[in-house]
Amino acid sequence: MGVLDWIESTRLAIWMQESPSLLAFPTILTLHTTGMALLVGASWILDMRLLGINRNVPLSYYRWVFPVVGFGLIVNVTTGVMLFFKNAATWGTSIPFFIKMCLVVASAATIVPMRSYVVHGDRDQTVAVGKIRLLAIASILTWSGAVTAGRLLAYIM
């Protein structure tokens, strides 16, 4: 308990809780949504390719997805930590929040093997096979779950 209470009393947490500025909580929340759109949107474009949409396009052409996903992740980890600071004592002990974190980690984890498949694989590959298709399906489902959990946190907390 001590640590969570301490987090909530830091200057950052108090700024997030009390600042009337539109640049405080509202903008941090909006940046979190923008990061989500970049991260999830770009991931889904790659997932769609792995599931057969644009199968004539070589996989290596989809490298652009990873910097976008990486940028979105950096934005959302940063803003996510700031949003957590605001309500650390409640969220730090909440099961829905824990579920969201697990889904985010699982989603982000699917990126790693997909990246090595796309970046280090055979440049002329056009057909994605078995395991990588499963991974794409897992990516779509875990990101959908993470977005759903994140959105519902606002209603159940």
Partner 1 sequence: MLVNPAHLHLLLNHVPTVGSVVALGLLLLALVRRDEALKHAGLEVLFAIAVLTLPVYTSGVAAFMEIRNRPDISDQAMRIHQDAALAGFIATELAGFIAWVALWQTRRRGDAAPGVVPATIVMLALALAITGRAANVGGDIRHPEIRPDLQASETAASADQYVAGSISHVMVNSTWVWPLSETIHFLGLSLSFGVLLAVNLRILGVMKQFAFSDVHRLLPWGMLGFGVNLITGMLFFVGQPGQYAASSPFFWKVVFLMIAGANFLYLTVARHLWVDSGLESSPGDKAMAASSIAAWLAVLYAGRMLPFIGNAF
Name the one residue in this structure whose structure tokens are 């002990």: 93
- For residue 58, CA distances in Å to 52, 64, 121, 128 come to 11, 13, 11, 10
User: Closest separation between CB of residue 7 and partner 1, Å?
Assistant: 24
Rule CB under 8 A: say whether 76 interacts with partner 1.
no
Given 73, 103, 111, 147, the residue binding partner 1 (CB under 8 A): 147
Q: Residues in contact with partner 1, total (CB under 8 A)?
A: 36
Q: Could you give the CA distance from residue 71 to residue 55 in angstroms, rounded to a whole number?
A: 26
The one segment of 25-33, 79-87, 113-121, 126-134 that binds partner 1 by CB under 8 A: 25-33
| Closer of 125 and 144 to partner 1 (Cβ) | 144
Residues 6+ apart with CB under 8 A from 13: 7, 85, 86, 88
Decide: 51 and 136 in contact? Cβ < 8 Å: yes
What letter does residue 10 receive in the DSSP assignment? Answer: S
Rule CB under 8 A: say whether 68 interacts with partner 1.
yes
User: Closest separation between CB of residue 61 and partner 1, Å?
Assistant: 5
| Closer of 63 and 131 to partner 1 (Cβ) | 63
CA 139 to chain centre: 11
**Could you list the residues that contact partner 1 (CB under 8 A)?**
22, 25-26, 29-30, 33-34, 36-38, 40-45, 48, 53-54, 56-58, 61-64, 68, 143-144, 147-148, 150-152, 154-155
